[in-house]
């Protein structure tokens, strides 16, 4: 089970809230694994996860731009790369058999990415934007 932890904080409450929300959205997938869900429900849940990630990227980029984050372009590029990857994985899932293993795989993929991205990439902007709590 993946959940938000204090060490994930980027010291900007709006973004922390969104990261928490992403873990919650991804957890829909784990609840789908325990019951018999239709392919349609699973595809819907997966799309919901994709939407949440893409919306978060947009909001985070807005804040980083407003705060004149020096590595904004690189950060945006990381988001772009992952957006491409997530779309590819979701497409693959759509054509899979939607077994519990398939769901577990995409669930772990999303959560592992989120933890890595927060800890490696998002954490880099903490010092730069910490004076801009209102961003
Ligand atoms: Fe990010
Ligand atoms: Fe983020």
What is this structure's pTM? Answer: 0.91
Sign of CA dihedral 36, 42, 44, 45: positive
Interval between CA 39 and ligand 1 midpoint (Å): 30
pLDDT tens figures, 42-66? 999 999 999 999 999 999 999 999 8
So what's the pLDDT on residue 129? 83
Q: Is the predicted pLDDT of residue 86 greater than 80, yes or no?
A: yes
Q: To 10 degrees, the CA torsion angle through 42, 43, 46, 48?
A: -110
* Domain assignment of residue 95, yes or no: yes
- Measured distance CA(86)–CA(89) in Å, rounded: 5
User: Which residues lie near ion ligand 2 (Cβ < 5 Å)?
Assistant: 60, 122
Assess if residue 75 is contained within a domain: yes
Position 135 in a domain: no
Q: Give domain status of residue 61, yes or no.
A: yes
CATH of the domain at 78: 1.20.120.50
Which residues constitute the domain of residue 46?
Answer: 11-129
pLDDT of 24 over the 60 cut: yes
In angstroms, what is the span from residue 17 Cα to ligand 1's centroid? 13
Q: Which ligand is nearest to the CA of 12?
A: 2
Domain count, the chain: 1
Question: Residue 86 falls within a domain, yes or no?
Answer: yes
The reply to whether 1 falls in a domain is no
Q: What is the DSSP letter of 96?
A: S
Mean per-residue pLDDT, 99-113: 93
Cα distances (Å, whole numbers) of residue 63 to 12, 36, 53, 59, 119: 10, 40, 15, 6, 18
What ligand has the least distance to the C-alpha of 69?
1
């Amino acid at each position: 089970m993946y959940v938000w932890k204090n060490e994930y904080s980027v010291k900007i409450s709006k973004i922390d809230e969104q990261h928490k929300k992403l873990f919650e959205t991804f957890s829909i997938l784990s609840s789908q694994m325990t019951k018999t869900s239709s392919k349609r429900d699973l595809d819907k849940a997966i799309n919901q996860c994709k939407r949440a990630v893409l919306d978060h990227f947009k909001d985070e980029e807005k804040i980083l731009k407003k705060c004149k984050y020096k590595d904004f372009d690189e950060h945006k590029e990381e988001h772009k790369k992952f957006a491409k990857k997530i779309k590819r994985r979701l497409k693959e899932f759509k054509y899979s058999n939607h077994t519990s293993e398939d769901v577990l795989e995409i669930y772990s993929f999303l959560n592992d990415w989120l933890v890595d991205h927060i800890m490696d990439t998002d954490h880099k902007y903490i010092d730069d934007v910490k004076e801009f709590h209102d961003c």
